[in-house]
């Protein structure tokens, strides 16, 4: 492939990945690889968002009658509005309104109508669609009912330049292109929507990817190296939630992106030693042994590493289904979460992704208890919060060893909760001033590490704002430490 990409990386192609990006030079951790604006921003399937500000809405533009528009916005993209205004006079726009996913496709056709953007239409058509893998699957039928038929029956196709292309297969192909290539982006209401980026969509996936994607308030994407990348190394981005277990991640990637992931983490039954899918071996537990059940790589059987005990696939499925149901019913109740942790902790490894899910939920509840000025959290709240954050940081160190947004947030919370706990202990005379200084210095280095990783995030995003908060808190902490050190000197 000779197609130009940029000076830091180039496009290559192989039978497994299709097109993918590799480094043309050595890249340093933190180095920006790509900055790009989306060619398309669309609502998530089933949502309706204002064409101008992207807030959720039920309203429509009073001129073109087809584009969703919220009550705060008076107009949207002029070219699109003028074109759709002509079309709406001769089409059944009620059907297009009823099936909101049609609007994403109309936006793609409009790119082709507009001479300024027609080039993007051509480039979108070059993206992977996995048409054959999708044919006659559940998603194919869903798109047929909610996009293909409503579009074809509305009569709108005759108004587009590409009307003779617009048959069932072509529309399914575009649906496939969107499903396979979009990035999830944060909507103004903090919900999710989708962005299509022509260059960024060529990055292949790894569950332990070597880049992070950061999307700013204008929806520009920045892809930066989260660790050093060698020349000719494949540059990857992560398409899925890293806090899920291998079977879950693989299922999501198979269903949504149509490939079987064979990255280092997926291939390793211990998930790089994190044990995020492992079970506790009951016979070993009874015998006071440390038995862990993992899914063996070749046989795909769930077997204990210490004895010959095994679990059948159906048993594993049942345990997980029941655990998920119990987690669902415990939602927002810290006491029930604690009981569940104790109960499931006898079946699931401490780092199992469902245990991590409960611990994250619990840590979030404790955060609101701590930050709520009406409540006066006791020491035990801080102790629990510290323990939960420590466990999360430890797992993230394994699965995201480089620069990591999740790790930065967990470290930030750990540093603050720990500092508060040490101050409480000091107030209760459990620590002397010198000991407090030493412990606060540990918090300082955690906060510094969190701020360092968050500084790669765009300023006007929640993570960018957290970077600022971390810097401010670091200053306060340094000041505290300085005053306490002076006190130590006076005491000596």
Contact residues toward ligand SAM (CB under 6 A) are: 16-20, 127-128, 130, 180-181, 201-202, 204-205, 257-259, 261
* Residue (20 or 412) nearer to ligand SAM, CB: 20
* Residue (17 or 162) nearer to ligand SAM, CB: 17
Helix/strand/coil for 10 = strand
* Residue (80 or 179) nearer to ligand SAM, CB: 179
* Residue (208 or 418) nearer to ligand SAM, CB: 208
Give CA separation, 86 vs 36, 51, 253, 411, in Å.
32, 18, 41, 55
* Residue 311: CB minimum distance to ligand SAM, A: 28
* Residue 170: CB minimum distance to ligand SAM, A: 18
- Contacts from 228-233 at CB under 8 Å and sequence distance 24+? 228/26, 228/27, 228/28, 228/29, 229/23, 229/26, 229/27, 230/23, 230/26, 231/23, 231/24, 231/25, 231/26, 232/22, 232/23, 233/22, 233/23
Instruction: Report the C-alpha gap between 470 and 457 in whole angstroms.
Output: 13
**CA count, 13 A, side-chain hemisphere, 207:** 29
Of 137, 135, 124, 194, give the one whose Cα is nearest residue 165.
124
* Residue (18 or 378) nearer to ligand SAM, CB: 18
Of 112, 110, 132, 131, give the one whose Cα is nearest residue 122.
112
C-alpha torsion sign, points 364, 369, 371, 372: positive
* Residue (20 or 382) nearer to ligand SAM, CB: 20
* Residue (206 or 351) nearer to ligand SAM, CB: 206
* Residue (181 or 226) nearer to ligand SAM, CB: 181
* Residue (21 or 453) nearer to ligand SAM, CB: 21
**Virtual torsion, Cα 423, 429, 434, 438, nearest 10 deg:** -40
Helix axes 462-491, 433-454, angle to 10 degrees: 160
* Residue 14: CB minimum distance to ligand SAM, A: 9
Instruction: Report the C-alpha gap between 68 and 70 in whole angstroms.
Output: 7
The label of the residue with tokens 């039954």 reads 269
Instruction: Report the C-alpha gap between 146 and 178 in whole angstroms.
Output: 15
* Residue 295: CB minimum distance to ligand SAM, A: 19
* Residue 263: CB minimum distance to ligand SAM, A: 6
* Residue 34: CB minimum distance to ligand SAM, A: 14
* Residue 429: CB minimum distance to ligand SAM, A: 56
Using Cβ positions, the residue closest to ligand SAM within the complex turns out to be 18
* Residue 133: CB minimum distance to ligand SAM, A: 9
**CA count, 13 A, side-chain hemisphere, 301:** 9
* Residue 126: CB minimum distance to ligand SAM, A: 8
């Amino acid at each position: 492939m000779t197609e130009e990409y940029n000076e830091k990386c180039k496009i290559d192609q192989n039978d497994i990945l299709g097109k993918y990006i590799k480094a043309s030079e050595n890249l340093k951790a933190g180095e920006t690889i790509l900055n790009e604006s989306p060619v398309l921003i669309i609502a998530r399937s089933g949502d309706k968002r204002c064409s101008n500000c992207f807030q959720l809405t039920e309203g429509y533009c009073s001129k073109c009658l087809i584009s969703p528009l919220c009550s705060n916005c008076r107009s949207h993209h002029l070219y699109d509005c003028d074109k759709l205004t002509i079309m709406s006079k001769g089409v059944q726009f009620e059907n297009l309104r009823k099936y909101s996913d049609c609007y994403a496709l109309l936006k793609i056709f409009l790119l082709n109508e507009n001479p300024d953007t027609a080039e993007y239409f051509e480039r979108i058509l070059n993206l992977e669609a996995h048409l054959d893998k999708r044919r006659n699957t559940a998603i194919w039928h869903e798109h047929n009912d909610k996009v293909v038929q409503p579009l074809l029956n509305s009569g709108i196709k005759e108004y587009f330049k590409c009307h003779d292309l617009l048959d069932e297969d072509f529309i399914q192909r575009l649906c496939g292109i969107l499903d396979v290539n979009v990035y999830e982006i944060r909507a103004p209401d903090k919900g999710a929507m989708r962005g299509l980026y022509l260059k960024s969509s060529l990055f292949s996936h790894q569950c332990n990817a070597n880049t992070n994607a950061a999307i700013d308030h204008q929806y520009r994407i920045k892809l930066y190296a989260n660790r050093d990348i060698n020349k000719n190394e494949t540059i990857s981005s992560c398409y899925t939630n890293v806090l899920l277990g291998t079977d879950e991640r693989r299922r999501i990637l198979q269903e949504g992106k149509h490939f079987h992931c064979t990255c280092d983490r997926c291939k390793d039954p211990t998930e790089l030693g994190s044990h995020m899918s492992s079970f506790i071996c009951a016979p070993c537990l009874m015998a006071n042994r440390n038995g862990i059940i993992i899914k063996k790589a070749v046989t795909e059987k769930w077997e204990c590493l210490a004895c010959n005990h095994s679990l059948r696939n159906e048993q594993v499925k049942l345990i997980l289904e029941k655990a998920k149901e119990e987690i669902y019913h415990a939602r927002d109740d810290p006491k029930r979460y604690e009981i569940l942790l104790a109960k499931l902790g006898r079946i699931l490894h401490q780092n199992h992704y469902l245990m991590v899910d409960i611990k994250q939920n619990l840590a979030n509840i404790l955060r609101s208890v701590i930050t709520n000025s009406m409540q006066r959290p006791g020491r035990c709240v801080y102790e629990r919060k510290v323990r939960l954050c420590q466990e999360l940081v430890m797992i993230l160190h394994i699965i995201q060893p480089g620069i990591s947004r999740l790790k930065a947030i967990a470290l930030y919370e750990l540093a603050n909760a720990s500092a508060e706990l040490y101050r409480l202990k000091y107030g209760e005379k459990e620590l002397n001033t010198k000991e407090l200084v030493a412990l606060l210095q540990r918090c300082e280095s955690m906060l510094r590490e969190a701020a360092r990783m968050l500084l790669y995030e765009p300023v006007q995003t929640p993570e960018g704002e957290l970077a600022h908060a971390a810097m401010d808190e670091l200053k306060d902490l340094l000041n505290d430490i300085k005053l306490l050190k002076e006190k130590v000197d006076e005491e000596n």
